[in-house]
A and B are shown apart, each in its own frame.
Chain A
Amino acid sequence: MNRPAALWLALGWGGFALLPWYGVEDGFWSLAWLFDYPAGADAAPALLQILLFGRWWLAPMVLPLAAPLLVLRRPRTDPLFSRVLLAAGAVGAVFFLGQGFLIGIGGWEYATLEGLFGPLGDRQFGMGYGALSVAAAFLFLFAQGLAARGAINGDGFVVGSIALVIALVAAFIFFPVVRILASAFQDNDYNFVPYLFVEKLFSHDIWGVGCLTANVNCGIAWNSLLMAILVAASTTVLGLAFALLATRTGFRAKRLLRLLSVLPIITPPFVIGLAIILLFGASGTVTQAIETITGTTPGRYIYGLPGIWLAQTLAFTPIAFLVLIGVVEGVSPSMEEASQTLRAGNWRTFTTVSLPLMRPGLANAFLVGFIESLADFGNPLVLGGNFDVLSTSIFFAIVGAQNDQGRAAVLAIILLAFTLTAFWAQHRWLGHKSYATVTGKGDAGLHVPLPRRVVWLAYGSALPWAGLTAVIYCMIMFGGFVELWGRDHSLTLRHYMDAFSITTGTGGLVWSGAAWNSFWTTIYISLISAPLTAAVGLLTAYLLIRQKFAGQQAFEFGTMLSFAIPGTVIGVGYILAFNVPPIELTGTGIILVICFIFRNMPVGVRAGIAAMTQIDKSLDEASLTLGASSFATVRKVVLPLLRPAVIAALVFSFVRAMTAISAVIFLVSANYDMATSYIIGRVENGDYGLSIAYSSVLIVVMVVVILLIQLVVGERRIGRREDMNVAFGAGGAVG
């Protein structure tokens, strides 16, 4: 008997005949549904749904579930075996999707079907674990069929993995994006109204240029673009200054620079904005100083463009630094020496040789800054004032008084178009070209000293900036110990008590602090999603690097796409896609976990690709020819050698889950509130003390967890170790 096929088939039948087909109230794992099982309409498996409740549209799936039973005993080389499995998988998937999407909450989705079958007298519900198992069974039966035909060297595990990743990406990246596109053409009652789309797309408040002539706000799109260009320019310049400082000068505290570059990774982006308010806000330290010196009240000057610019530059300069340090180091000394022997001085060498060689790297840093700025949500929300940008406008279109899904969708499309264009440009120009001049030949030369002017420029811009960053982080760490910033500077633990107090009540300890709820949810969700993200990411990297299959390029594009999709867009997409049956996930913790997995997956993919290209492929092949299945090969050979990448992926997905805000803020619910969205809420209420206290606790927790993960996963035995910073550098991502 064919073991894998039999197991998937068993899963399919289990899902069809045993598990509740629809999602059950209180969640599956509460097991409350057992009281109602199996004959209750909520908890009944598909088989009983058909027999007892007349849900005949589930019945056709019996056929593709039954057919493979007939061929299970045949050898897998038998053409009939593969043909039946392929057919069962494909037909099953069609029936499955059919019953899911042709029936909506109001019965038949399409009038023609109503005419054909008569009114349904029933509606769609969110699908549950039964449905999930059956879907998985169809998917993997199909994959087994393909493998039996010899696809991907007849490897069931690999074909199954490819199918799984494709299905997941389709469901959780493409489907939401498509829903956005669709709802851009719909009004709030899901009617198809194309002219609304045109109207919204060209609306004055998006594209208006009134600010050029009169004293009104320009369109949101222009605001976003202007902001992105300013931020990209400033982060690139500062990043270059830091990179030159770190590699080309005798600057002493280089390690400190490295540390500085890791900080933003463990800092929720809006926390910088928060610290800026404490410095420059209406009652900020600097503002008050200006007041006492000049005697005038500067007011809310920081809100709007200046504040966001400052905050984003502070937040994203380290990313530019990480991009550029490799570029600066990559410029081959021999080129510069060649230039010098041709009688060019330091200044000429720098401007005519070094800088042009860095140009592609600079362009890359610029684009990264551009994308980051466009996608950033937290800082504009905290500091925006009247200066509206796309990411925040999307949010307010959905949650605000407007509640206009169509508008949110249109804004999301514009934002997505911007970031995808930048992403595309980045790949087009720089994607696969190696712009470093490291030749593989031992380059023994010495870098030519930088011209004095450049050295002073680098020091002059980098050091004050480093100072500002240090001040900002001091604010974050100690701002929480001050009674009321700007008014009453007496030291207090009040904010920490408010957030994290524990009292002893009747039933033992009571977590009475206001932050505990969101804190534990955040830890819990992040801890669940980190290993899943790492698994999906590394699996994808394995498929990309170690396997060859048709459509690999498209596969790669699809899996990296979520990198280019701003969080707010994903948030809107998830709301639109998963708020209604058949996949009804809003309000659960699952949707948060899924969101994290697919937003952060590219990080795992990159870490995995970087590590796996360094491991000789013949190791895998040796394992295969020694009789190990590819699953065993991955477990025993690939994974142990990938330990640094595993750590990097785990740390990254954990940290990014803890610090994420843009998509999360759409998806949190009363039961599952996350720390970041809780803090943002407090910030909007002006409760800075508690916000900053909570933020500092988050940062400390992340540092501790990172160290713990390092300790648990341990080091690779053969001793070689990759530079963690390299892995971190790979993670420059969209907020």
Chain B
Amino acid sequence: MNIEGQAAAVRFDGVSKHYGAVVAVDRISFEVQAGDLVTLLGPSGCGKTTTLRLIAGLEMPTSGSVFIGGDDVSRLPASARDVSMVFQSYALFPHMTVFENVSYGLSVSGITKAEIRDRAEDGLKLVGLSGYGERLPSELSGGQQQRVAVARALVLEPTVLLFDEPLSNLDAKLRRQVREEIRELQQSLALTTVYVTHDQEEALAVSDRIIVMRNAEIAQEGAPTELYEAPRDLFVADFIGDANVLDAEMLSRDGGHATIRVGGGMELRLPHRELPVGPVKIAVRPEAVILETSKDESGFTGTVLKSTYVGSHVEYTLDTGLGEIFVADYRFDAPVPAGSRVRIAFRERGVTLLEKQT
């Protein structure tokens, strides 16, 4: 037998959730396409978990509607929705064996014993745990427990699979491994998945699309490259990777691009993102800054305030006419010592105009 997700989409339509005076989710709308893995990313307390629980049916929206597979499920309880969830704490039932845990969802849905057995075994095999069925969860390692939790959710072949920070209880090495396993499984079964994390690297690594949240709202939504290369505002730019935000001026627009002048007479050609000519703000990735230690003092220059060697690269803090700039240099020969004067250039791929100026 083959476990196959029957893919279908999730849609939020102006959904809000209030806890008394606290607004945990504020009129958000988004869609998840069938077969996609979408990540909810954002700082602590921004409403990620709440959004996930709204999909699961563990919370009812205060206003707005939730659609799963095209049906309005806003008022349906969790048990009536075709959604499974993997919890941060795994939430394995401590009084049941691994097998009983995995077959739990099947056994409450009235399937024959034989089929339950087959499907549960399949599920365990899928996560590489066949033969562990008779153990209690307390007799497994953290990573194994994690996989049991995934198997338990998978065997129900849910329309949507939900993960709430599934890796936060694992150590750094295991985290990378399990995250790749989850992604592989998700892609091979074409499962529609919503995944919560506040780790931007994790989000970039596993997602088809990312929804960045801030203060109960959606800050920006898009593919990982889109978010990294064209963040809409400072918050997103700063949250996904680091960014230096600098004042600049748009001199002219032609076609899709604009000519931007940064301090010291440096000019860049960037997509204009529908902004008018005049003062603008740009975000510069730390690794897009190129330093030259020539004696030539023309152009955009600065002084090295701090120079830190961290193995794979060198980090600098520069003092420039536009304020402090943070730099990550991966192609260094020898670290530039603090106090040196440097000429500064930007690689265009790592620079973007910010749509919102705040």
Tell me the A residues contacting B by CB distance below 8 Å. 76-77, 147-150, 153-156, 616, 618-619, 621-630, 632, 636-637, 640-641, 716-718
Contact = CB atoms under 8 A, between A and B. Distances in A.
11 contacts: A76-B75, A153-B60, A153-B78, A154-B75, A618-B88, A621-B91, A623-B104, A625-B79, A628-B108, A630-B79, A641-B95
Contact of A625 (B56, B75, B93, B109): B56
Interface string B89-128: 1011111000000001100110000000000000000000
A621 B152 CA distance: 13
B95 A624 contact: no
B95 A628 contact: no
Given A626-B153, A632-B108, A77 B76 contact: yes
B136 A625 contact: no
A623 B80 CA distance: 12
Interface in B147-170: 152-153, 156, 162
Nearest to A630: B79
Given A150-B74, A155-B77, A627-B108, A718 B138 contact: yes
B180 interface: no
A629 B77 CA distance: 9
Contacts of B59: 153
A616 B80 CA distance: 22
Given A154-B76, A618-B87, A625 B108 contact: no
B212 interface: no
Given A628-B79, A628-B105, A77 B91 contact: no
Given A153-B77, A632-B108, A625 B89 contact: no
A34 B87 CA distance: 56
A622 B153 CA distance: 9
Contact of B83 (A76, A154, A625, A717): A625
A622 B56 CA distance: 10
Contacts of B56: 621, 624-625
Contacts of B152: 622, 626
Interface string B40-63: 000000000000000011111000
A465 B223 CA distance: 77
Contacts of A718: 94-95, 136, 138
Nearest to A148: B75
Contacts of B94: 619, 641, 718
A3 to B, nearest CB: 12
A619 B93 contact: yes
B84 interface: yes
Contact of A616 (B75, B78, B85, B91): B91
B76 A637 contact: no
A716 B78 contact: no
A637 B94 CA distance: 9
Most buried by B among A148, A626, A627: A626
A285 B105 CA distance: 68
A716 B95 contact: yes
A629 B76 CA distance: 12
Contact of B95 (A153, A629, A640): A640
A631 to B, nearest CB: 10
A625 B78 contact: yes
Contact of B57 (A153, A629, A632): A153
B51 to A, nearest CB: 15
B184 interface: no
A626 B156 contact: yes
A154 B85 CA distance: 19
A550 to B, nearest CB: 10
A204 B309 CA distance: 92
A627 B79 CA distance: 4
Contact of B89 (A147, A150, A618): A618
B226 interface: no
Contacts of B74: 150
B77 A717 contact: no
Contacts of B181: none
B125 to A, nearest CB: 19
B3 to A, nearest CB: 15
Given A150-B74, A619-B91, A625-B56, 7 more contacts: A77-B72, A77-B75, A150-B75, A618-B88, A619-B93, A627-B109, A641-B95
A632 B59 CA distance: 19
Nearest to A719: B138
A627 B156 contact: yes
Nearest to A640: B95
B57 A626 contact: no
Given A622-B87, A641-B94, A717-B95, A149 B75 contact: yes
Nearest to A158: B77
Contacts of B138: 718
Q: Which 10 A-B pairs have the closest CB atoms?
A: A626-B105, A622-B91, A618-B91, A624-B78, A150-B75, A154-B77, A625-B85, A628-B108, A718-B94, A618-B87
A624 B82 CA distance: 11
Nearest to A155: B77
Nearest to B72: A77
A147 B78 CA distance: 13
Contacts of A641: 94-95
B161 to A, nearest CB: 10
A623 B81 CA distance: 12
A629 B152 CA distance: 17
A156 B108 CA distance: 17
B279 to A, nearest CB: 49
Nearest to A156: B77
A77 B75 CA distance: 7
Most buried by A among B56, B74, B83, B108: B108
A681 B60 CA distance: 58
A637 to B, nearest CB: 6
Contacts of A149: 75
A637 B107 CA distance: 13
Interface string B322-358: 0000000000000000000000000000000000000
Nearest to A716: B95
Given A626-B156, A628-B79, A154 B60 contact: yes
Contacts of B60: 150, 153-154
A622 B163 CA distance: 12
Contacts of B81: 625
A704 B251 CA distance: 93
Contact of B58 (A148, A150, A625, A637): A625
Contact of A626 (B80, B88, B104): B104
Nearest to B100: A636
Contact of B85 (A153, A622, A632, A640): A622
